[in-house]
Structure 1
Amino acid sequence: MTTLTDIPPFPADGYAPLADQIAQILHTQNDVLLIQAEAVVALEACAMSLGRPGASALNIVTSMYGQWFGGWLRRAGADVVDLQAAAGQPIALAAVADALAQGDFDLVALVHAESAYGILNPLPDIAALARAHGALVVVDAVASVGGHALRVDEWGIDLAVIGPQKSLGGQAGTSAIAVSDRAWAAVAPQGEAPSILSLADQRALWLDRGRGALPGTPSAIEFHALHAALARVADEGAAALIARHADTADRARRAALLLTGRAWVRPDAASNLVTAVALPDGISAADVLALAPKDTALSAGVGPAGDRIIRLNHTGPRATPWVIEHDISVLCDVFLKIGLPVDRAAVLEALR
């Protein structure tokens, strides 16, 4: 029996096929780099590689991840304008258009889907605006790849960062970056010593050497896990995977709306991975979670408006109707304990 201490080495000729599978999922001909770390490292690498002194960035902030990205850009020396959305809400396209009209930006950065609040930013339209102004488009697609359409080349995305731990149903120990030719032209050159935070170094040490063995000592178990996750995606089909997330999210939003009478965001601005249940006035997420089972999958939002919602997690293997039916049933029980009127039968029927 194989144990965690005697995992077979990952074959050196196995990395390039992983990158090619990711490129297919992203609908891109761009180079794909494999990063030997969780996606937050890949995001920082993008910021540190593009954020040199003299660079100007419009950084769209809809969660803490946007805040972090702006901080990394500043650390690298870039001039950053943070465009903050209303708490817990997607960015308004008009706000992006206004900001672009008032400045000369080298890049526009944003998160596509936000699990913190279950929202979806209008990426195709933002990317079109950014490209019209000559700016690179940098996207955190960790929580959208596999759950939403993501067409890197068609939409003109220059840097797309993904991780397998969300809709793709994998582990968090690896990540990937799709890099366009325009982005490569803006990347800072190699340093004196190789760095995982340098896209130029990653290119030189892997792409330019024929995409064989990765530099350093990669964790075999993480790449075997990535291989398994991508194989499952291939078996299901990327389009079917997105459709499964969309169907589960639609059911969850219908039930949540019937339960509380209000929607946190419009359906076209909602994530397919997480549904934010807008709580009635006077009820907080802390109130709900205090009465929920200790092992519940229900959770509060993350950030300034987090206590105003309960999140239903239907990501990856959880994107199934019966998982959401269980979580909605738990929420019905809690609302009844609080003393709120609940038509359980009607709410559960909305999931059908």
Structure 2
Amino acid sequence: MTSLTWNPLLDIPPFPVYGYAKLADRIGALLGTRHDVLLVQGEAIIALEAVATSLARPGLQALNVVTSPYGGLFGDWLSRGGAAVSNVIAAPGLPITIATFTAALDAMPGVGVVALVHAESASGILNPLEDIATLAKARGAVVVVDAVASVGGHELNTDALGLDIVVIGAQKSLGGSAGLSALSVSPTAWGLIAQPGGVEQSTLSLLDLKHNWLDRGRLALPGMPSALEFHALAGALDRFEAEGLDNAIARHARAAAATRDGVEALGLPLWVEASGASNLMTGVQIPQSIEINSLLRELAPFDTCIGPGVGLIADRLVRLNHTGNRARLDAVLANVLALGQALQQLGHPTDLGAASAAVLRHYGRPA
């Protein structure tokens, strides 16, 4: 008879029933909100689709900011539910401008929802969330924010900005698993979700989560919760809270600044200026003489987190990842030097010494 091998990943202790509410409260503190926080079993794209599905219905007018394929998907989901959607589309891979957003907002006097991505992992850009939220709230719109690639790496005070729905995942700045996501929901947003015609009896229904978890005292989650994922989320929050939110944001900001300076010292142009750049990912323009797939092949042996852009910009830039536990000196330096070395191999001159010095200057003194 073959003996059974014990595997700790297969014998996970149950996650305590009372622990779900504690996790939600910890996420609420992270987001700076007293609104309801829902836990969603699945990667953040599921939570985002659930938000769009729960909001959408005929008669709803939505202004959807599109700065990557993710924003496009959100607009499609709203349209699928019958909402009248106006997509305000930025130049490929760039942040939306306030002028462009304001013009689109003025063209939709009955807007009920404004949706946008805060920081884009697809290109490494940062949208002007505060200005957009201020303009949208002045029109009485519910503001929906995809903060998956910004929470923990950028300041995000949900209640102070008047944000109604904020969706996050644990797999980026928080350094956790991708198997769970969460979102905050304001009373105003609940009022819109609860209007007649909303989706119920669905895994994409926020109303179901409200009825089956919030309204029952936030004890046992409906369905079959994955103990492994919830223990992983608790562990990620433990580590993140031990560092502190302000320290984590500062660490990501330092990694981003060091990366940008290192890239420029290589002689390469950044995709966007620092004011429009994310702290989690830096986009770098590829020299015109370099083909993207050739560059990626040269980068492969270095085992860094450098990849192409996503969407229409896929062949025009590479993204240097300094998210979560990669927001540290050794990872930042490895990214910059690997990019410089790969370009040298393809015949494009770079100054590795200058790049090293530019990165190290950011780590020679406390942040």
Q: TM-score range by the shorter chain?
A: over 0.9
Gaps of 5+ in 2: 1-5, 361-367
What CA distance in whole angstroms lies between the structure 1 residues aligned with 2:237 and 2:148?
A: 15
Q: Percent identity?
A: 52
Aligned length: 352
* 1:51-74: CA deviation from partner (whole Å, max 9, x where unpaired): 111001011111111011011101
What CA distance in whole angstroms lies between the structure 2 residues aligned with 1:206 and 1:310?
A: 42
Is the counterpart of residue 94 in structure 1 residue 99 in structure 2? yes
Is the counterpart of residue 51 in structure 1 residue 56 in structure 2? yes
Correspondence for 1:108: 114
Correspondence for 1:348: 356
Distance 1:292 1:2, change over 3 A: closer
* 1:263-292: CA deviation from partner (whole Å, max 9, x where unpaired): 211101101111111222232322311222
Correspondence for 1:3: 8
Is the counterpart of residue 249 in structure 1 residue 256 in structure 2? yes
Q: Which amino acid aligns with 1:78?
A: A
Correspondence for 1:81: 86
Q: Which amino acid aligns with 1:305?
A: I
* 1:82-131: CA deviation from partner (whole Å, max 9, x where unpaired): 11110110111110111111112101100000011000001111010111
Is the counterpart of residue 139 in structure 1 residue 108 in structure 2? no
Is the counterpart of residue 321 in structure 1 residue 326 in structure 2? no
Is the counterpart of residue 30 in structure 1 residue 38 in structure 2? no
The one of 207, 228, 245 aligned to 1:200? 207
What CA distance in whole angstroms lies between the structure 1 residues aligned with 2:141 and 2:200?
A: 29
What CA distance in whole angstroms lies between the structure 2 residues aligned with 1:309 and 1:223?
A: 36
Which region of structure 1 is more displaced relative to structure 2, 60-69 or 285-294?
Answer: 285-294
Shift of 1:335: 1.6
Distance 1:184 1:289, change over 3 A: same
Shift of 1:2: 5.9
The one of 264, 274, 282 aligned to 1:275? 282
Q: Classify the secondary structure of the residue corresponding to 1:292.
A: helix
Correspondence for 1:310: 318
Shift of 1:189: 5.4
What CA distance in whole angstroms lies between the structure 1 residues aligned with 2:261 and 2:221?
A: 46
Is the counterpart of residue 164 in structure 1 residue 170 in structure 2? yes
What CA distance in whole angstroms lies between the structure 2 residues aligned with 1:170 and 1:194?
A: 30
Correspondence for 2:270: 263
What CA distance in whole angstroms lies between the structure 2 residues aligned with 1:63 and 1:133?
A: 25
Which region of structure 1 is more displaced relative to structure 2, 305-314 or 181-190?
Answer: 181-190
Does structure 2 retain, via aligned residues, the 8 Å contact 1:284–1:309?
no
Q: Classify the secondary structure of the residue corresponding to 2:266.
A: helix
**What TM-score, normalized to structure 2?**
0.93
* 1:201-245: CA deviation from partner (whole Å, max 9, x where unpaired): 111111111111101110110100010011111111111111111
* 1:9-36: CA deviation from partner (whole Å, max 9, x where unpaired): 0000000110010001100111101111
Correspondence for 2:3: none
Is the counterpart of residue 181 in structure 1 residue 187 in structure 2? yes
What CA distance in whole angstroms lies between the structure 1 residues aligned with 2:266 and 2:40?
A: 42
What CA distance in whole angstroms lies between the structure 2 residues aligned with 1:297 and 1:243?
A: 21
Q: Which amino acid aligns with 1:244?
A: R
Shift of 1:338: 1.9
Gaps of 5+ in 1: none
Q: Classify the secondary structure of the residue corresponding to 1:307.
A: coil
Does structure 2 retain, via aligned residues, the 8 Å contact 1:56–1:79?
yes
What CA distance in whole angstroms lies between the structure 2 residues aligned with 1:102 and 1:85?
A: 16
What CA distance in whole angstroms lies between the structure 2 residues aligned with 1:278 and 1:192?
A: 43
Distance 1:333 1:200, change over 3 A: same
